[in-house]
Amino acid sequence: MARARSLIMLLLLLLLIHKGSSIDECRESSCGPYHEPQNIRFPFQLVKESSQDQCIHPEFCLYCTENNETMMVLSTTSGPIKFLVDYIDYESNRISVLDPDNCIPIKFLKLNNSSFLPYRIFPQPGTTKLSFFNCSSVRKRHLRNHDQIFQESQDMITCPIYVSYSHESVLALDLVSCIKMFDMATTEELTYNWLFLSWPKQNCTKCEANGMKCKWKNNGTKGETDCFDCNKKRKTIQIPKSLIYASTG
């Protein structure tokens, strides 16, 4: 009886090792039924936040929050920054993200001043001119304007960079005590704590044309891709007989 239990434990251990050391390219993952943009698939990989070493490409790692939301972490020269994933458009290689800290202007500037490849800020149609203000001297949490009063507004103490349309009145926005930094032609989603990012297209046309899925080639260190047939029968786990003999005596 003891030998049988030992054998079962050995088999379970081998299965766990196999599962933890491999990536199932055919399986689509998700954080949960709520607040989920859609199923996560190539080139993204959904892992636990404490298991970043399991990612072939850390910049394509996505994580699940305690609220079953999908989160991404981007490395910049100013340090890592976190976004919540709103939607992933695999056809156009775009991803829309929200800032959980409600401070998209500062994170936008960090991304804009960093070489954070493979992502780029994606300009939306109708790109307009926005003005950036430094309101650190205001020393109050909210400005006296319509957006700050009636919407979920940013905390001006922890997030003192304010973005507005360049044609808006400084008086009406209560920005008199703020210092104007610069104007920039960029996406208007910044005023709604929202941002679009794009990533380079992987060459998966050949795979899709043949009814196969795309995956990183070999270890994927050069960013090259290869095709993977999900209809092929998966290889079974070969357990060395020596291990079985050792567990059974």
Q: Report whether 98 contacts 194 (CB < 8 A).
A: yes
Radius of gyration of the chain from its Cα atoms, rounded to whole angstroms:
24
Let me know if residue 49 belongs to a domain: yes
Q: 């950036």: which residue's tokens?
A: 132
pLDDT tens, per residue, the chain with 249 residues: 555 555 545 444 444 333 333 455 677 788 876 545 567 888 888 887 656 566 778 888 898 888 888 999 888 888 889 999 998 888 788 899 999 988 999 999 888 887 766 788 876 666 678 999 999 988 888 787 766 665 557 888 898 999 988 888 888 888 999 999 999 888 767 878 888 898 887 777 778 778 888 888 776 666 778 888 877 744 434 444 444 444 444
Which two three-digit tokens encode residue 178?
A: 């703020």
Neighbours of 51 (CB within 10 A): 11
pLDDT for the residue numbered 207: 81
Does some domain include residue 160? no
Would 159 be classed as within a structural domain?
A: no
The whole-angstrom separation of Cα 207 and Cα 213 is: 6
The predicted model scores a pTM of 0.73
What pLDDT shows up at residue 66? 83
In a domain, residue 9? The reply is no
Q: What is d(CA 183, CA 201) in angstroms, rounded to the nearest whole number? A: 31
118 domain-assigned: yes
Domain carrying residue 104: 26-125+188-198
Beta-bridge partner residues of 68: none
Give the residue carrying structure tokens 């390219």.
25
SS3 content of the chain, % helix, strand, coil (to 5): 25, 25, 50
Among residues 147, 152, 60, 140, which one has the least CA distance to residue 99?
Answer: 152
Question: Hey, is 20 helix, strand or coil?
Answer: helix
| Tokens at 51, concatenated | 């298991």
| 90: in domain | yes
- The answer to whether residue 60 sits within a structural domain is yes
Residues 177, 135 contacting (CB under 8 angstroms): yes
Rounded to 5 degrees, what angle do the CA atoms 74, 143, 186 make?
40
Determine the Cα–Cα distance for residues 130 and 188; give it in Å rounded to an integer: 7
Tally of domains within the chain: 1
Q: Is there a contact between 31 and 70 (Cβ–Cβ < 8 Å)?
A: yes
- Tell me whether residue 53 is in a domain: yes
